[in-house]
Amino acid sequence: MLHKLLSGLSPTEEDEVLALGAHLTLPSGGSLFRLGDAADRLFLIERGRIRLSFPMLVRGQQEDVLFEEQGSGETVGWSAMVPPYRFTLSATAPLETELIALPREALTAFCEREPEIGRRISLNLAILVGQRLQLVQAMWMREIQRAVELRSQHATAAR
């Protein structure tokens, strides 16, 4: 299994990092974490899918709305590496899913001992966070653009 977070590491280095974690199997519909929970582990998806969602008020009742889905090789829960270490989305498994849970403390301690591996992992994490930022930025710009167009249409209709 090729994990994006461990991209660029040798198979031995990869094994060393994976040995820090614990295998976890979520049943279909199982919850991995909830928005606001303390984030002390990040998760590498071995098999299956993780659905990331956020709460939205729909007709007065709270509903979990999909934000994105991640599959094998992807990393979820990187809030564990970013202060204030709280999850900002909720994660569930739409089908049985296997993951490796990497505790933050063990990972950071390992990266301090092995700075070259730490640099590689930090770079991969930066890519992960940067890609998410670019994606969200584009989605946000599109929504704003739509809001501007809607407003212009209303103004034209009111004339």
Residues that bind another protein (CB under 8 A): 56, 58-59, 61, 63, 65-68, 131, 134-136, 138-139, 141-143, 145-146, 158
**CB-wise, 38 or 136, nearer to another protein?**
136
We find the least distance from the C-beta atom of residue 43 to another protein, in angstroms, to be 20
Give me the least distance between CB of 6 and another protein, in Å please.
23
Nearest to 49 by CA among 35, 68, 34: 68
Q: Cα–Cα distances in Å, from 8 out to 51, 118, 131?
A: 27, 11, 18
Closest CB 153 distance from another protein, rounded Å: 12
Within 8 A by CB and 6+ apart from 141, the residues are none
Output 94 or 103, the one with its CB closest to another protein: 94
3-class state of residue 158 by DSSP: helix
